[in-house]
Amino acid sequence: MQSIESLVCVAPGELRIERRPSPRPSPGEVLVRPRRIGICGTDYHIFEGKHPFLQYPRIMGHELAVEVVEPGASNLRAGDICVVNPYLSCGTCIACRKGKPNCCTSISVLGVHQDGGMQELIAVPEANLISAPGLSVDACATVEFLAIGTHAVRRGGVSEDDAALVIGAGPIGLGAALFAKLAGAAKVALIDRDADRVKSTAAIIGVDAIPFGEGLEQAVADYTDGNGFDIVFDATGNQASMQRGFDFVAHGGRYVLVSVVKDQITFSDPDFHRKELTLYGSRNATSEDFSRVISAIKDGKVPLDKIITHRTSLAKAVTDLPVWARQKSGLIKALIEIGG
């Protein structure tokens, strides 16, 4: 049987290249070759042992641009480049029946609940392949992570009347801030502990940066005329940050938790009721969000040349990924390249 190379996270802190049997598509699946794999915060968390929903060993990778190898009974053709929706849902549970497959009761996410795309071949359901004619393989690999931010913005109902704050200037926060701006928010601001990262990210997408430090509360008050933000997004994956974010929401405002942590999140109930806040969880993304991102990229509204900052190969990722997990200076989005 033919074998393929796979990048396996054997245990927290341990990566290695293994040869595994080539996948055989089941009915309804298509055999594809990953061409670009975005390295996500989720992948770094898996490597570090911080992901709450994972068993080892695991082949990571869910931000995928793939080339069709064997289309099977699908309408796709060999050589087609597609985006992958990595959220495999059952289609029958209460969430799926209500049009929310992103929070399916038995969801399986490629690279998290089952092996993902950091390998030379993978079989995926045809229904989870999104044809994106006109998009480069690089662009296709960015669609999924941007869709996370897009979904959060849609979940929070951002409008032209809103002053929006995104806490966390990593790729997910970048996506949330960018699509809050594209949704027409009156003001969009970013906060991050890393002063250089927040300044550079804000400049790339054309939003404001609020300095982090002892005067943060006053800086937020000054920026919002003492009102706080109509909508706040937390994209940090940090318990303390997620709890502190409640303080920045205006009376009558909304708070969207985009990131996930193992810990419990607590807040002051009197303050929550005094402000009559609305709290949202935002999980994954839906086909509507993927379509929104693809359209924005085609319209030239996403500065991909500035977002993709690092590149590596499948073999070199064994050493590069651990470095990037620790050293984020200058890093926005790293891609693993397979096959040029």
Q: Which two tokens stand for residue 13?
A: 């802190």
At 128-163, the pLDDT tens digits run 999 999 999 999 999 999 999 999 999 999 999 999
Helices 171-182/137-156 angle, 10° precision: 70
Tell me if 14 sits within 8 A of 32, measured CB to CB.
no
The reply to whether the predicted model has a pTM over 0.85 is yes
Give the alpha-carbon dihedral of 56, 60, 62, 67, to 10 degrees: -130
Residues shown for the chain: 340
Reference 285, options 172, 123, 124, 163; nearest CA is: 172
Q: What is the mean pLDDT of the chain?
A: 95
Tell me if 220 sits within 8 A of 154, measured CB to CB.
no
At 27-36, the pLDDT tens digits run 999 999 999 9
